[in-house]
Structure 1
């Protein structure tokens, strides 16, 4: 039964990863939180396990989503090279920071952030995006300098670890803010999810092993069975999500993304405050 549950979570998360470029974390974290709670795991470890396991599974979903978006020419590789070092270092350090925050505060942090981001994405979705894909893809005319992109990657990495996401919730609005069309932003975000996921998963394993996690089948704050079940299914459904993403308008994608973030944010605030 547990494996079936993890496979279902993987199917939903993979589709979301391909559709929104979010790595599936906004789906995986709340669902794992529910599952781990019903398994009667220690309340002090549930949220950390959800975050660490989420980042570990994003390694697989980001690869699948990246391959699909790259075939469409939607990955801005020069921008990825500027962001990646900061993303990796920031996410590893962010895992250490998350380990020092209580599960309750992590719930509230995630809830508030997703509500704010959902509002921003919905309002920004009303604005017209730059339709010149060629100028957006080279990044020279509309994006900040390499050093500023590196710094932005560090901030996104730290936040991604604390939120257990592949960085799409930050990378996508960061890119669209400078006029990058939604499909390009989603494709590049999918690529950025890989260094975030690898560094974040390692961080939660390392820092988790320094604490007493009385939960079976785990390495630090990463649940092995959940990682395997979610990864297997999400690898296939991420491709389907990526195909759907290129069939929809940028404005519609932004609004759907905003609704998803708002629902998940309300859930975490509701559970945290109660």
Structure 2
């Protein structure tokens, strides 16, 4: 158990840095590591994937909040934009988290693996849609927000992989897009995690110290270190060549996706 706690703390460092640097919340790293950690700890196979995704969302509540505070100190968050997207994100993320309890772990794992491949391609190609238009009207924002919330909560991420490209397409400056993504990630993760808690509340197969589909020991270990390192990630995002970091990260994601889809 000591080894697992050390792993959770180290994972929190990585998640915090990613949340600050790229506005992605860290879920695309947290979920695969938790899948392996929970299997090592002999958790019941039928709940491992649900626990990994639900716990990932719960950790993003803390990493994104820490990143939001750091971004706010730099006056980088467009709050009217965040308020416009938040209600739809809340609806999509909570429903997705709640419904996930009825989806077999195999399909959640498959969905996550495919999502990782798409995310890695986006990072490796450094693809961003051209800023050729403005933000859509309220119905359009609702459609986008529900979509971001639904997909992100289903795979346990903070939504930055979807939010940042969308905002870039709408001609939002990259630093403002990352900052807004951090704020939206907090809302998404909070309600998505709540959905996973409610969904798993009566699951008799859950191990000790679980709150629905959230592992409290893993949450405590990851969150404790993540909140300390998210501000450092924000600081580094304004100093390091983020495009290079994205490509390195993309290679890592592709390798993880192959492992999850073909060797897990």
Conservation of the 8 A alpha-carbon contact between 1:129 and 1:180: no
**d(CA) in 2 for partners of 1:48 and 1:231?**
19
TM-score normalised by L of structure 1: 0.88
**d(CA) in 2 for partners of 1:207 and 1:127?**
35
**d(CA) in 1 for partners of 2:118 and 2:246?**
14
**d(CA) in 2 for partners of 1:109 and 1:211?**
22
Describe the SS at the equivalent of 2:200.
Answer: helix
Residue by residue, what CA displacement relative to the aligned partner does 1:118-157 show, whole Å, maximum 9, x if unpaired? 223433x266966xxxxx9xxxx62211221122111111
Tell me by how many angstroms 1:65 deviates.
Answer: 0.6
**d(CA) in 2 for partners of 1:253 and 1:144?**
31
* Aligned with 1:72 (options 71, 74, 86): 74
Match of residue 227 from structure 1: 219
**d(CA) in 2 for partners of 1:168 and 1:106?**
19
**d(CA) in 1 for partners of 2:38 and 2:88?**
31
**d(CA) in 1 for partners of 2:86 and 2:34?**
27
TM-score normalised by L of structure 2: 0.91
Q: Is the alpha carbon distance of 1:256 and 1:84 closer, same or farther for their aligned partners in structure 2, counting shifts above 3 Å?
A: farther
For the aligned residue pairs, the C-alpha RMSD in angstroms reads: 2.1
Which region of structure 1 is more displaced relative to structure 2, 70-79 or 232-241? 70-79
Match of residue 269 from structure 1: 261
Residue by residue, what CA displacement relative to the aligned partner does 1:1-37 show, whole Å, maximum 9, x if unpaired? 1322211111111111111111111111111111100
Q: Is the alpha carbon distance of 1:202 and 1:39 closer, same or farther for their aligned partners in structure 2, counting shifts above 3 Å?
A: same
* Aligned with 1:151 (options 139, 143, 146): 143
Residue by residue, what CA displacement relative to the aligned partner does 1:79-119 show, whole Å, maximum 9, x if unpaired? 11111111111111001222122112111111111212322
**d(CA) in 2 for partners of 1:231 and 1:12?**
11
Conservation of the 8 A alpha-carbon contact between 1:47 and 1:106: yes
Match of residue 237 from structure 2: 245
Describe the SS at the equivalent of 1:8.
Answer: helix
**d(CA) in 2 for partners of 1:257 and 1:183?**
19
**5+ residue gaps in structure 2?**
none
**5+ residue gaps in structure 1?**
131-135
Describe the SS at the equivalent of 1:40.
Answer: coil
Conservation of the 8 A alpha-carbon contact between 1:182 and 1:250: no
Conservation of the 8 A alpha-carbon contact between 1:96 and 1:204: yes
Q: Is the alpha carbon distance of 1:62 and 1:148 closer, same or farther for their aligned partners in structure 2, counting shifts above 3 Å?
A: same
Which region of structure 1 is more displaced relative to structure 2, 108-117 or 260-269? 260-269
**d(CA) in 1 for partners of 2:77 and 2:40?**
39
**d(CA) in 2 for partners of 1:89 and 1:127?**
26
Give matches, 1:133-212, under 5 Å: 142-212=134-204
Describe the SS at the equivalent of 2:134.
Answer: coil
